[in-house]
Amino acid sequence: MNLGNIAGEICKVLFPINEEVFFGKPDSSIVVCTLSSMQLLKEIGNSNLMSKIAVVGRLLSENKGIDSLVKYVISNKNIKTILICGKDTSGHRPAHSLLNLYKNGVDNYGRIIGSSSPDPVLTLTQSQVDKFQGQVKIANKIGETNMSEINLLVDSILKTQ
C-alpha cells in the first residue's frame, strides 16, 4: 500500500463522507458533477432538476473518482455533456485533473498529462480515455453553487444538443 492509499484510508476514518449519487432521467444527455460541494449535491438531488439530468454526483479524488466517472460516462452512450460545478477540493484538485484528462489524456503509465494533482494516476485503458474524450463535452463552471444558475446552465445545454 502506497502513502496515498494510507492517507486515503485515514481520511475515510477521520472524515467519513457518504458516497452519494442521485439518478434522474435515464435518457438524459447531461451529468452534473458537484465536486466537493456536498450540500449542492443534495440540493440538486432533491430538486426538479433531476427530471432533466441523468445523474448528479460528487468528485473528491483525482484518481479513483475520475476512473469511476469516466467508466460511468462511457457505459452510457446517451451522455454528451458533463457540467462541472461546485467547489474543487483544494488538495486533490479533481476538477483540474478531469479537465486535463479531457484535454490531454494520459501517458503510458496512466498519469493524467498536465495534472498537478498529487496522484493523478488512473486505471483506465487508452481506449477508454479516447472514447471518453470523443463522447462528451465538458461545461466548466467550477465554483458555481447557485441552483438558479445551474438550472439555467442545464437548460442552455439542452437547447444546444
Given the candidates 2.60.40, 3.40.50, 1.10.530, 3.90.1570, the CATH classification of the domain at 21-160 is: 3.40.50
Nine cell digits for residue 78: 446517451
Task: Please give the pLDDT value at position 18.
Answer: 54
Residue 32's nearest CA partner among 131, 150, 136, 132 is 150
Residue 54's nearest CA partner among 37, 38, 33 is 33
d(CA 20, CA 56) in angstroms, rounded, equals 9
Residue 143's nearest CA partner among 89, 102, 91, 103 is 89
pTM score of the predicted model: 0.87
Task: Please give the pLDDT value at position 91.
Answer: 82
Task: Please give the pLDDT value at position 17.
Answer: 45
pLDDT tens column, 108-148 = 999 999 999 999 999 999 999 999 999 999 999 999 999 99
d(CA 74, CA 9) in angstroms, rounded, equals 28
Mean pLDDT, the chain cut into blocks of 10 residues (161 residues total): 48 48 95 96 96 95 92 96 94 93 96 94 96 98 97 96 82
